[in-house]
Structure 1
Amino acid sequence: MSDDEPTGRPSLEAVTEWDGGISWVAHPEEDAMRGSHALATEGGVWVVDPLDADGLDDRLSDLGEVAGVVVTHDRHTRDAEAIAARHDVAVSVPEWTDLAREKLDGDPEPLDGELAGTNYEVHRLIDTDEWEEAVLVDEAGGTLVVMETLGTLPGFCEGDDDIGVHPALDEAPDGLADYRPERILVGHGESVSEDGATKLAAALDAD
């Protein structure tokens, strides 16, 4: 599938390749530096909280066939439905979420426990009337996906920390300290590509 025809979407420029997928910032000029990710797995490519861009479909096809689009945070419905429609796949949300489901035009598929055909487990992180967020965890691959609670922008980080907790949260959610990732994919700022466990522990100590 290709999206080479001219559109009003931004060009796909800020792309980072990593062992297991790609990450991109569709609007690098934005202060929020909204990041999106594509996870290349044996079960296909899962696109996470995506923002659209010209050239994205070609980059995804380089990784493999798109298996689905997943929304992990209620404010990250973004361009999920448009991308899913082009690839004829479903948008999926954790089965316990209501806020994200209400913001989508269609009826998303419920996620229960894992991304089908992958090593990524789906875990509840925050579940309140104002904030719903799940994390994706691939322990074998050393990857943790936390799209809103963690970020690398200055507003998230204390001092010299490379990653930090969202400033709107009084404290880090229970459970984050249990993870020992090498890589942490975030939804705001550049993701952490190495030594994620040490950097996460420092961020949680500073919180």
Structure 2
Amino acid sequence: MPMKGSGRAAYEEIDRFDGGVGWIAYPDERMQRASHALASDEGTWLVDPLDAAGLDDLLAEFGDVAGVVLLLPRHERDAAEIARRHDVSVHVPSWMTDIASDLDAPIERFSSELGESGYRLRKVSTPLWQEAALYHDGEGTLVVAEALGTAEFFRTGTERLGVHPALRLLPPRRSFRGFAPDRILAGHGAGVHEGASRALSTALDGSRRRAPSLYAKTARLFLSG
């Protein structure tokens, strides 16, 4: 199983709910890079998107594309190409650096709400990279790019949601304080749609304690190819 897929992508749908849908462009890759479309009255917002054959047909179910948003610098993925195709801008948190100059698409900065979508921006405090999350209080939807995920290399055998291996010893607990999500959409792996608040607190509270077992599991995964 490759770490990242390449070539013409054939996506797998994930995370469908009343307010949007997600997809994994290369279902057989180990990284399980996930992208999401978030529906709003002003159109659909695409989060950290990867392109795939037939993607526009999926997006059309939720209306016109309002914009693309990046929550992590290294998640530029196919954001510029998709933004140009739909004649929209790529929206980037106002404090995020090392990203706008690399994109061949119009850039708009935002610091609080994403347009008029109801999704509000929250900075994820980590010592290793810049990251943002989105939270819609009314829908109970939390969107996390990298700090949390459900791909296999994020989780121990007892976790439904896990802290990124590099952040296990310094989990960003404060960044998610006050959230009680009904669902969590992740940048790696399918989302959590049942017991999401419990899964969030379990992941953050037990991050350090379960770090050794995750590192052992991850080593086995990568050594096995």
Q: TM-score, normalised by structure 1?
A: 0.90
| Higher deviation after alignment, 114-123 or 13-22 | 13-22
In the alignment, what sits opposite 2:53? 54
Counterpart residue type for residue 9 of structure 1: R
**Aligned-partner SS, 1:85:** helix
Q: How does 1:40-189 map to 2 (within 5 A)?
A: 40-126=39-125, 130-169=128-167, 170-173=169-172, 174-189=174-189
Identity of aligned residues (%): 46
CA RMSD of aligned residues (A): 1.6
Q: TM-score, normalised by structure 2?
A: 0.83
**Aligned-partner SS, 1:178:** coil
Contact residue 15 and residue 191 of structure 2 kept, 8 A: no
Separation in structure 2 between the aligned mates of residue 206 and residue 15 of structure 1, nearest angstrom: 27
Contact residue 68 and residue 83 of structure 2 kept, 8 A: yes
Separation in structure 2 between the aligned mates of residue 30 and residue 36 of structure 1, nearest angstrom: 14
In the alignment, what sits opposite 1:25? 24
Change (3 A) 1:134 1:25: same
Separation in structure 1 between the aligned mates of residue 34 and residue 96 of structure 2, nearest angstrom: 21
| Higher deviation after alignment, 12-21 or 177-186 | 12-21
Higher helix share goes to which structure?
A: 2
Counterpart residue type for residue 75 of structure 1: R
* Equivalences, count: 199
| Higher deviation after alignment, 171-180 or 33-42 | 171-180
Contact residue 15 and residue 190 of structure 2 kept, 8 A: no
Change (3 A) 1:165 1:15: closer
| Higher deviation after alignment, 64-73 or 187-196 | 187-196
List gaps (5 residues or longer) in structure 2. Answer: 1-6, 208-225
Counterpart residue type for residue 54 of structure 2: G
List gaps (5 residues or longer) in structure 1. Answer: 1-7
Counterpart residue type for residue 45 of structure 1: T
Separation in structure 2 between the aligned mates of residue 45 and residue 157 of structure 1, nearest angstrom: 30
Contact residue 99 and residue 132 of structure 1 kept, 8 A: no
Separation in structure 2 between the aligned mates of residue 124 and residue 20 of structure 1, nearest angstrom: 22
Separation in structure 2 between the aligned mates of residue 88 and residue 9 of structure 1, nearest angstrom: 22
In the alignment, what sits opposite 1:5? none
* Aligned-pair CA distance for 1:123: 1.2
Contact residue 24 and residue 35 of structure 2 kept, 8 A: yes
**Aligned-partner SS, 2:117:** coil
**Aligned-partner SS, 2:66:** strand
Divergent runs of 4+, >4 A: none
